[in-house]
């Protein structure tokens, strides 16, 4: 499990999972119905992304977002 503390770590986790699955940015963007530039911005930690699109990408990659208190 990875701890997501900011958009940079979230973007890195998404990039790592996409690569692990062997997906290109173009493939995932088309599959998710988003632009490749949006996916690139997401993977690079851009902080102005739309949360709904972000959650769609996370879901399509078979990932969950878990929130927990630090130190637990």
pLDDT of the chain along its 72 residues, tens only?
Answer: 777 777 888 899 999 999 999 999 999 999 999 999 999 999 998 887 687 788 889 889 998 888 676 787
**Residue 9: CB atoms within 10 Å:** 13
CATH level 3 topology of 7-60: 434 Repressor (Amino-terminal Domain) (1.10.260)
User: What Å distances lie between residue 22 and 15, 60, 67, CA to CA?
Assistant: 11, 13, 27
Q: Where are the domains of the chain?
A: 7-60
């Amino acid at each position: 499990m990875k701890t997501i503390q900011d958009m940079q770590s979230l973007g890195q986790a998404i990039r790592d999972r996409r690569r692990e699955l062997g997906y290109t940015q173009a493939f995932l963007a088309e599959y998710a119905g988003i632009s490749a530039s949006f996916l690139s911005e997401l993977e690079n930690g851009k902080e102005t992304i739309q949360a709904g699109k972000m959650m769609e990408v996370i879901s399509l990659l078979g990932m969950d977002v878990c929130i927990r208190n630090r130190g637990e």
